Amino acid sequence: MIVLTSAIVFTVLILIVILFQIALAAGLPWGEYAMGGKFPGKYPVSMRFACIIQIAILAFMGIVVLSKSRSLVREWSAFADIAIWFIVGYLVLGTILNLITRSVWERRIWAPVTLLMLVSSIIVAIS
């Protein structure tokens, strides 16, 4: 039960991050809330394309976590057993970066989100 709950928490959080990335890619002026606030306002075109790549990576991560929890694409189970640990490592790095960023907004918003994603992914990983 805790694995399924953790997978759901992870999925909801990653969907929030994906929606944020979609907003950045669409040109909403939220640049100060990402990338250490390096691009306040609207992202430049090159960063908008980077958001699209990030969206694909995040969606893939969500599918891996759901597959590991046996909630989606059960055929990926063996792959997910290994890939989940790369996701955990990515989230360790992401949590650290969000905690040490100069951007106050990133520390306030994204550090807790990445920390919760990290904890939920670890729970799924060790299941």
Give dist(CA 46, CA 81) in Å, integer.
34
Region of 37 on the Ramachandran plot (φ > 0 left; ψ -120 to 50 alpha; else beta): left
- pLDDT tens by residue, 61-78: 999 999 999 988 888 889
Rg of the chain (C-alpha set): 15
The pTM score is 0.91
Residue-wise pLDDT tens digits, 17-35: 999 999 999 999 999 899 8
The tens place of each residue's pLDDT in the chain, 127 residues long, gives 899 999 999 999 999 999 999 999 999 999 989 988 889 899 999 999 999 999 999 999 999 999 999 988 888 889 999 999 999 999 999 999 999 998 899 999 999 999 999 999 999 999 8
Closest CA to 42 of 23, 66, 61: 23
